[in-house]
Structures are given as structure tokens and as C-alpha cells.
Homo-oligomer: A and B are copies of this chain.
Amino acid sequence: MEITLADDKPGIKFMPGEEDVALHPGLKEVYLDNTKISYIDGDKGRLYYRGYSIESLAENSTFEEVVFLLIHGHLPSRYELFTLKDTLRNERELPDRVLMILKSFPRETTRIEILRTIISALALFDPDDYDYSKEANIRKGLRIIAKIPTIMAYSHRIKSNLPIIEPDLELSHSANFYYMVTGNKPDKDIEAAFDKALVLQSEHGSNASSFAARVTVSTLSDIYSAVVSAIGALRGPLHGGANERVILMLKEIGEPERAEEFIMEKLNKHERVMGFGHRVYKTRDPRADIYEQMATYWCGKTGNQKLMEISKIVCDVMARERKLSPNVDFFSATFAFAIGLPILLFTPLFAASRSAGWVAQTLEQMDNNTMIRPLMRYMGDIDRKYRPIDDR
């Protein structure tokens, strides 16, 4: 096995023995490990959290219950649920110094960057900072889940020149979240819808953000680092940023009669239409179906029928031309817009929901850890000769 000498000349070579190795860009077909958290049946378009179908949880459960389920593996007893709700409620506030940091940020900043920074800062103020027991990790995880809505709501209101609204301990996680963002306490209908949205997106297998959390914690780092990595991954338009781009597209279309032409033009120009297709779901995304029902209801109730009409035409064109179904980003965008959530909060809302899955997956990785580092195939020169700067 001889190494080729290149003497600083250009020219690409594979290393001996590596010519034929199989590459796995994106790790698309690679199984990392076992999980007991969620199961996606891509062929049948089904999703389960801890064995419960997403439809049954969306119908019956609350976000707090799902947080418990994802972390502990079973639905909570009345007492367990009471305790969890109590913890989440009492952890909503930010420490004063963290609030000061939040207020010091430039107003034009994107919310997800603020969220990433504040979660990172919260680690420094966590009372269990140096306790790495499983119990402490669960406490830290719940603090993160409890505080994300507060961070989002505060940064939104500061940016919008509105006074911040402190958490209301009488309200549920989702009702308080809505209240801190909008300043209005939601009626039961809005609360239930908002809660359902949080349930629907709280976990989804080894998506890019949860995988980033696993990679980070696989060095035996801490749960804050894991969630910070996940938030960073969520920032990307291929992951958490997609629903923002969906609603911007729908608003750009503006009128139902323009929708078909708009999409055809995009397709002809080989541009990406956001909100369609999924690497895992070969048929339909079950969450998209639930969101479609919610979007239909809320667009009707809030006078956004035109938005719904446009959405449906876009879906028809994509089905006809590309045989693609809408994914979770598509109708979640229409829904979130219809219930009055500011567009710039779409990705942070996703973060608030998914935080439950990040925490559960981080804990699972910690329980059964191997440091995650794949190989890369080197494809370049070797043994180039170092030349002094004046000889280059």
C-alpha cells in the first residue's frame, strides 16, 4: 500500500484501499441504532410516539402529557401529570441576568438565533449545572421545555416594541404561550388548537435537529449543548425554516387565480416548492392531514378562506405535476397564520414543540451511548512538499 507523491501539483487521488468504499452522503439508508421513542412507517404514512399513533395523541392528549410520554415511555398517572405540569409551570421564568442578556440583543435579529443563545446562556444559571445524573438531566430538560415559550414570546414582544408579558401560572403550557405572545388569553378553542400543534411536532425520529443533539451529547457533553445544537440545525431552511417559506410563498401568490401559473412557473424553472415531499414518507405525512383539517377550520373561522383556496390549488398542482403530497410544513404554515401567529415565530414555535423530542432523544442517547463519528473518504493530494513562502 504505497502512498502517491504529489509534490504540490494539483490532481485528485483517492487513498489506496478507499477507491471502492461506499459513501453515504446524508446517511440516508444508514441505521444508527435502536430507539424506543418514535416510529415512522414511511410506506404507510404512519407516525407513533412510544407506540401511540399521532392521531390518537392529537385527539386525546395534551402537550404536557406528551412531554411525559416521550421522556418516560408511558402515559402519566394523574399524580405524575400533576407533578410534571407543576414543574413546567414553575420553570417558565428566566433568571434576571438572562433577561438582561435577551434585552441587549439588536432588534433586527432572527428569533432562532436569540433562542440558541439564550438556551446556551441558561446552562450557566442552571442550579443542577454540575449534576450529570439522569434525574438532574430530566430536570434540566424540563426547564428547557418550560422556558422556550417565554424566550420566544419575550424576544418577539421586545422586537415589536411591546411590553413583555410575564407567564401566567394559572394557564396551561400552550395557553400561557399564546398569552405571552399575543397578550390575549385564548378561548378553549384556540388553546386546544395551539396545544394540538405542539403535540403534532414534538417528535419525529432522527430528523436533522434531533440527530445534531445526539451527535453533540455523544461526547458525554450536556443536555444544554445538545439542545443548542438542535436549535442551530433547526435554523436551516431545509429543516425548521421551511414553514416560514411556505407562508411567504402563499402570500406572494396572493390570489387563487394566480396559484396554478405561479407553481407551474417555479416547476418549469426547476425551483424548489417548499412544503412538499419528505425523505421518509413515501405516501402521505399523517401530520399534514391533521394540520389540513385544522387549517381548514381556522381559515374559515378567521376569514382566511382565500389562503386556504390558494393552498389547495398549490397541493393539486403539485400532486398532478410531481405526485408529491404536502408535508407537515405546508398546512402547519397555513394553520399558524390563520390563528394569528406572527410568521417570524413559526420556526421558534416548531422549536418549542420539538424540544420535547430533543430532550427525550438526548436522554436515550445518554442511556446507551457510543461517540458518533463517521469516516470521510479523502480525495486529494498526499505528501505535498512544504515550500517556503517565497517559493510558492
Contact = CB atoms under 8 A, between A and B. Distances in A.
Contacts of A39: 15, 378, 380, 382
Given A31-B374, A51-B382, A387-B75, A219 B236 contact: yes
Nearest to A375: B31
B208 A34 contact: no
Contacts of A32: 23-25, 27, 374-376
Contacts of A60: 386, 388
B205 A233 contact: no
A41 B26 contact: no
A52 B376 contact: no
A124 B108 CA distance: 9
A301 interface: no
A162 interface: no
Contacts of A205: 375-376
Copies in the complex: 2
Interface string A354-392: 000000000000001011111111111111111111101
Given A26-B371, A31-B376, A383 B48 contact: yes
B125 A106 contact: yes
Nearest to A361: B376
Interface in A80-122: 81, 97, 100-101, 104-106, 109, 113-114, 116-117, 120-121
Contact of A238 (B116, B220, B222, B378): B220
Nearest to A389: B78
A384 B35 contact: no
B125 A378 contact: no
Interface string A234-248: 111111110000000
Interface string A184-223: 0000000000000000000001111101100111111110
A387 to B, nearest CB: 7
A6 interface: yes
B232 A228 contact: yes
Contacts of A36: 12, 378-380
B41 A373 contact: no
B372 A211 contact: yes
A311 interface: no
A373 B215 contact: no
B215 A375 contact: no
A53 interface: yes
A105 B37 CA distance: 36
Contacts of A106: 124-125
B208 A57 contact: no
24 contacts: A15-B39, A23-B34, A26-B373, A27-B374, A28-B373, A31-B377, A32-B375, A36-B378, A38-B378, A75-B387, A75-B389, A77-B392, A106-B125, A117-B123, A205-B376, A207-B373, A216-B229, A218-B236, A219-B234, A219-B236, A219-B237, A220-B238, A221-B235, A279-B371
